[in-house]
């Protein structure tokens, strides 16, 4: 199922907000980042873009739960981890002519939307492209999302961190050749989520997506390189990651600040196809969608690691204030005095980029920053409950860290109740909230 079909189905359920007014691309960025609703956003008239633009596709937890067909965050974590551990081979292969990529537009990047998200960006970026590659020697497939800076009509600089795609790229370079890639924009949201995950090297994220889709993912082979890709999407770009290097960045990353400029490999485009009446997917940098796509798999890992050392994990959040990456809050059911600190250590082990973690009791709603601060204010003694770990591996996204060698300090706060004291000392006195109270508060404008 391509993105346009997903949007149509969501629209029938009232889960799409359509913006008909003309907007500049930078205004689209502001609207998406400031929007606090739960719906997908569809911009019908974006400056210099000749197709509708969807943002916030995976931009809310309610939409994620809908794609997973569950009301439970825990079930999302379980299914995602299970799919990464047990990917499913794709058997629904169709001919390329039967895929959604029906219109060939040639090797010309100006034929697809050109979006500059922030005024000081160095150029136009593709942010939602799923890059699919196959190792020329190993035969290993990888699918992952990478930002790409458009350099001219046939070239893009791609940001590659030293992980799985980088290994396949080095495999090709060591053989004196470029690495063929297929870039898919506008696939099913579960394909996006799978491609944003980090299973072990050798696990094909397209097969992870197939497992999430219960074996129903249709795939096809690209015309030139015969790479296996989702058969349903909005845009397909075939090209090669070459030995040529170019400046990439500065780019606005998860923190909402500009990342540094780097020399990165250049993709030479061979051909482009689009679907009939395509909808373009733009992942707005530093938006909730950006954070959720990057953080969901890490949340699942934190949940999995922490549940092994405490009786029960109630909820996990990589917080929006922590850029969906650097800070976590975990609610646990505590049975022994050391559970909070064990949860802290498990969280850092699960997500090495994590810089700060707060552990609270199950009576605290971790989606409410006021309640988290209240727990810290009333349940923490700094000399006893704060864990500081110095000079350890951190995240390149943290501007306060040593971004050259990725060294940072980390802090854990055990904001759980001291079980050596009576529990009632830490529990808020309940308020009587009935219809009459609600009516009067409403009249006072304080509902």
In the sheet with 92-93, reading across from the earlier edge strand, the strands are: 92-93, 218-221, 228-230
Please tell me the distance from the alpha carbon of residue 347 to that of residue 342, in angstroms, as a whole number.
9
CA neighbor of 124 nearest in space, from 238, 48, 190, 193: 48
225, 96 in Cβ contact below 8 A? no
The Cα–Cα gap between 256 and 264 comes to 21
- Using DSSP's 3-state secondary structure scheme, residue 216 falls into coil
Q: How far is the CA of 209 from the CAs of 131, 190, 235, in angstroms?
A: 14, 6, 18
Residues near 442 by Cβ (< 8 Å), separated by ≥ 6?
none
**N residues, the chain:** 447
Q: Report yes or no: 335 and 350 within 8 Å, Cβ to Cβ.
A: no
- Angle CA 67–70–72, to nearest 5: 120
Q: What integer pLDDT is reported at residue 200 of this predicted model?
A: 94
- What is the three-state SS of 111-127? HCCCCCCCCCCCCCEEC
| CA 125/CA 159 separation, integer angstroms | 11
pTM for this model (two decimals) = 0.93
What is the predicted pLDDT for the residue at 409? 93
Rounded distance between C-alpha atoms, residue 440 and residue 432, angstroms? 13
Residues 287, 59 contacting (CB under 8 angstroms):
yes
What does the alpha-carbon distance between residue 145 and residue 159 come to, in Å, rounded to a whole number?
Answer: 10
Give catalytic residues, as residue numbers. Answer: 253
Kind of pairing, strands 262-274 and 103-104? antiparallel
Q: Where do you find CATH 2.30.110.10 in the chain?
A: 87-275
CA 104 from centre of chain: 30
Cα separations in angstroms, 30 against 23, 35, 46, 294: 10, 8, 13, 20
| CATH 3.40.1670.10 applies to domain 289-425 | yes
Q: What are phi and psi of 34, to 5 degrees?
A: -85, -15
H or E, element range at 370:
helix 369-379
Distance CA(185)–CA(200), nearest Å, equals 24
> Which residue intervals of the chain bear CATH 3.40.1670.10?
289-425
CATH code of 87-275, in short, is: 2.30.110.10
Compute CA distances 16 → 4, 145, 275, 277, 289, whole Å: 12, 24, 21, 18, 15
pLDDT at residue 92, rounded to an integer = 86
Q: Which residues in 187-200 are b (16+ Cβ under 10 Å) and which e?
A: bbbbbbbbbbbebe
State residue 398's pLDDT score. 80
| Structural contact between residues 302 and 325, judged by C-beta atoms closer than 8 angstroms | no
In terms of DSSP H, where are the helices of 40-179?
Answer: 61-67, 73-85, 164-174
Calculate the CA 206 to chain-centre distance: 16
Helix axes 73-85, 288-306, angle to 10 degrees: 80
- Cite the beta strand spans of 334-385 per DSSP E: 356-361
Mean pLDDT by 10 residues, the chain (447 residues): 96 97 97 96 95 97 97 96 97 94 95 95 97 96 98 97 95 96 98 96 97 97 97 98 96 92 96 96 97 97 97 95 95 94 97 96 96 97 96 83 82 96 90 93 87
Cis peptide before 277 (omega within 30 of 0): no
d(CA 249, CA 231): 31
Q: What is the pLDDT of residue 108?
A: 95
HSE-up (13 A, CA, CB side) for residue 257: 10
Helices (H), 162-224: 164-174, 189-195, 205-212
For 29-62, letters b (16+ CB in 10 Å) and e give bebbbebeeebbbbbeebeebebbbbbbbbbbbe
Phi, psi of 290 (to 5 degrees): -55, -45
């Amino acid at each position: 199922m391509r993105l346009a079909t997903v949007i149509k189905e969501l629209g029938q359920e009232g889960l799409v907000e359509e913006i008909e007014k003309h907007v500049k691309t930078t205004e689209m960025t502001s609207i998406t980042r400031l929007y606090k609703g739960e719906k997908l956003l569809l911009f019908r008239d974006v400056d210099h873009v000749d197709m509708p633009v969807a943002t916030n596709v995976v931009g809310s937890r309610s939409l994620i739960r809908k794609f997973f067909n569950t009301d439970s965050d825990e079930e999302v974590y379980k299914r995602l981890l299970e799919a990464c551990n047990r990917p499913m081979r794709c058997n629904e292969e169709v001919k390329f002519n039967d895929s959604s990529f029906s219109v060939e537009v040639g090797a010309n990047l100006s034929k697809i939307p050109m979006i500059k998200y922030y005024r000081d960006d160095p150029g136009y970026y593709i942010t939602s492209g799923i890059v699919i590659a196959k190792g020329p020697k190993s035969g290993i497939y990888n699918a992952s999302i990478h930002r790409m800076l458009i350099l001219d009509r046939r070239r893009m600089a791609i940001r590659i961190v030293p992980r799985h795609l980088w290994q396949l790229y080095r495999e090709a370079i060591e053989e004196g050749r470029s690495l063929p890639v297929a870039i898919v924009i506008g696939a099913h949201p579960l394909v996006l989520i799978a491609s944003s995950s980090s299973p072990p090297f050798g696990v094909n994220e397209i097969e992870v997506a197939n497992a999430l889709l219960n074996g129903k993912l249709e795939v096809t082979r690209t015309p030139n390189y015969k790479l296996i890709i989702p058969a349903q999407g909005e845009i397909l770009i075939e090209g090669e990651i070459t030995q040529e290097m170019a400046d990439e960045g500065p780019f606005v990353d998860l923190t909402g600040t500009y990342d540094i400029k780097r020399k990165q490999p250049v993709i030479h485009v061979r051909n482009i196809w689009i679907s009939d009446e395509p909808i373009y997917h733009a992942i707005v940098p530093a938006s909730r969608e950006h954070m959720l796509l990057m953080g969901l798999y890490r949340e699942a890992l934190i949940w999995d690691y922490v549940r092994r050392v405490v009786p029960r994990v109630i909820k996990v959040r990589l917080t929006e204030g922590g850029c969906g990456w650097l800070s976590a809050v975990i609610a646990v059911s505590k049975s022994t005095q050391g559970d909070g600190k064990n949860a802290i250590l498990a969280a850092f082990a699960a997500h090495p980029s994590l810089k700060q973690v707060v552990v609270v009791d199950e009576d605290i709603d971790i989606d409410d920053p006021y309640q988290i601060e209240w727990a810290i204010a009333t349940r923490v003694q700094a000399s006893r409950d704060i864990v500081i770990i110095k000079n350890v591996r951190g995240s390149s996204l943290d501007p306060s860290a040593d971004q050259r060698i990725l060294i940072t300090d980390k802090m854990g706060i055990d904001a759980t109740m001291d079980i050596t004291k009576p529990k009632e000392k830490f529990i808020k006195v309940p308020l009587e909230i009935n219809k009459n109270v609600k009516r009067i508060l409403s009249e006072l404008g304080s509902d």
